[in-house]
Amino acid sequence: MTCDFAARVRIIAATALLLVLPGAEAAAAGNGITLSRITTVDGAPLAVRHAGDGSGRIYVVTRSGTIRVLERGELRASPFLDLRDRVRSGGERGLLGLAFHPDYAGNGYLYVNYTTRGLPRTRISRFRVRQDDPLRADPGSEQVLLEIGQPYSNHNGGDIHFGKDGYLYIGMGDGGSGGDPEDRARRLDNLLGKMLRIDVDRTDAGDAACGLRGRYAIPEDNPFTGSPGACPEIWAYGLRNPWRWSFDRESGDLIIADVGQNRWEEVDFQPAVSRGGENYGWSCREGRHPYRADRCDGGPRVDPVIEYGHADGDCSITGGYRYRGPVTALRGLYVYGDFCTGRVWFADRQWNTRLWRETGFNIASFGEDEAGNLYLVDLNGGIYRFGQGR
pLDDT tens sequence across 77-96: 999 999 999 999 999 999 99
How far apart CA 378 and CA 363 sit, in angstroms, is 5
Indicate the domain borders of the chain: 5-388
For range 63-67, the mean pLDDT: 99
Q: Within 13 A of 381's CA, how many CA atoms are on the CB side? A: 13
CB 191 within 8 A of CB 210: yes
For range 214-228, the mean pLDDT: 96
Hey, what amino acid is at 169? Y
The matching CATH number, chosen from 3.40.630.30, 3.40.1110.10, 2.60.40.10, 2.120.10.30, for 5-388 is 2.120.10.30
Percent of the chain with pLDDT over 70: 92
For range 103-124, the mean pLDDT: 98
Q: What was the pLDDT predicted at 213?
A: 87
Which of 120 and 31 is assigned the larger pLDDT?
120
> What three-state secondary structure class fits 311?
coil
For range 155-159, the mean pLDDT: 96
What region does 326 belong to: left with phi over 0, alpha with psi -120 to 50, or beta? Answer: alpha
Q: What was the pLDDT predicted at 22?
A: 33
How far apart CA 49 and CA 319 sit, in angstroms, is 15
Q: What was the pLDDT predicted at 10?
A: 40
Sheet with 343-347: strands ordered across: 317-322, 334-338, 343-347, 353-358
Average pLDDT taken over every residue of the chain: 93
What is the tens place of the pLDDT at every residue in 318-334? 999 999 999 999 999 99
Model's pTM, two decimal places?
0.93
Q: What was the pLDDT predicted at 162?
A: 99
Q: Within 13 A of 151's CA, how many CA atoms are on the CB side? A: 15
How far apart CA 5 and CA 103 sit, in angstroms, is 35
pLDDT at 378 over 90: yes
Q: What was the pLDDT predicted at 1?
A: 58
Nearest to 324 by CA among 269, 370, 377: 370
Q: Within 13 A of 142's CA, how many CA atoms are on the CB side? A: 16
How far apart CA 65 and CA 42 sit, in angstroms, is 11
What is the tens place of the pLDDT at every residue in 239-291? 999 999 999 999 999 999 999 999 999 999 999 999 999 999 999 999 999 99
For range 58-70, the mean pLDDT: 99
